[in-house]
């Protein structure tokens, strides 16, 4: 069975500080990987997706960047956090040539103060 693990579970960070969130997928090779952001009580906004190692496409600009250093790993980062970065960050995976069934990780809750 496929598993998805996100870290950290929660972070409290200061405005202007750096951030790194991670996600690993186990159980199947070459998944499509995604980062989503959700404001408290809000909808799910797709940020990035990647269909292969080293290749990441940006969907919306939020002063964030993403990288896929390994087939099973997806990293979300920024050098300078803004207050607006607060929210719930969800990594997700799917397979196939189009967006099929999407499965989310447990999420990372970020609070920027």
Applying CB under 8 A, which residues contact other proteins?
32, 34, 42-46, 49, 51, 57, 59, 90, 98-107
Distances (CA, A) of 45 to 1, 30, 90: 27, 23, 10
Closest approach, Cβ 50 to other proteins, in A, equals: 9
Closest approach, Cβ 77 to other proteins, in A, equals: 21
> Between residues 66 and 90, which has the closer beta carbon with respect to other proteins?
90
> Between residues 79 and 106, which has the closer beta carbon with respect to other proteins?
106
Closest approach, Cβ 57 to other proteins, in A, equals: 7
> Between residues 57 and 79, which has the closer beta carbon with respect to other proteins?
57
Give the separation between CA 86 and CA 78, rounded to whole angstroms.
13
In sequence order, what are the residues at sequence separation of 6 or more whose Cβ sits closer than 8 angstroms to the Cβ of residue 24? Answer: 4, 5, 72, 73, 74
CA nearest to 32, candidates 105, 88, 102, 107: 102
């Amino acid at each position: 069975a496929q598993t998805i693990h996100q870290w950290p579970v929660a972070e409290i960070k200061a405005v202007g500080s750096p951030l790194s969130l991670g996600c690993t997928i186990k159980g199947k090779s070459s998944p499509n990987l995604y980062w989503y952001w959700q404001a408290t009580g809000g909808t799910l906004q797709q940020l990035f997706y990647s269909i292969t190692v080293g290749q990441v496409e940006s969907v919306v600009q939020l002063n964030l960047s993403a990288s896929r250093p390994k087939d099973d790993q997806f990293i979300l980062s920024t050098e300078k956090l803004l207050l607006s970065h607060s929210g719930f960050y969800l990594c997700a995976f799917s397979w196939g040539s189009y967006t099929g069934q999407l499965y989310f990780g447990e999420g990372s809750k970020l609070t920027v103060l």
